[in-house]
């Protein structure tokens, strides 16, 4: 017999932004006003130039921190 315990967690983009900001603050000591932008890029699927399907994927994040905190 096998018993599997699982949890399903759904995160909003704001949840992920908050997690990134907290991680940078605690691990790098960076504080200020954060501007987080997620990068989404199109990496088409297909072998023919005329025949492809859009494939929008997460490609990281760009974070700018205003250290003036104003």
Q: What is the pLDDT of residue 22?
A: 97
Domain segments of the chain: what residues? 13-66
Q: What is the pLDDT of residue 49?
A: 66
Beta bridge pairs of residue 38: 61
Q: Which of 41, 23, 21 is nearest to 32 (CA)?
A: 21
Split the chain (70 residues) into runs of 10 and give each run's mean pLDDT: 89 96 95 95 79 88 87
Q: Determine contact, residues 17/36, Cβ cutoff 8 Å.
A: yes
Q: What is the pLDDT of residue 69?
A: 61
3-state secondary structure string, 10-36?
CCCHHHHHHHHHHHHHHHHCCCCEEEE
pTM tops 0.75, yes or no: no
């Amino acid at each position: 017999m096998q018993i599997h315990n699982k949890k399903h967690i759904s995160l909003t983009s704001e949840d992920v932004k908050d997690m990134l900001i907290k991680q940078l603050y605690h691990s790098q000591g960076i504080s200020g006003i954060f501007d987080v932008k997620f990068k989404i890029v199109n990496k088409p699927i297909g072998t023919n130039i005329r025949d492809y399907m859009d494939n929008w994927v997460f490609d990281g994040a760009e974070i700018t921190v205003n250290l003036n905190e104003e």
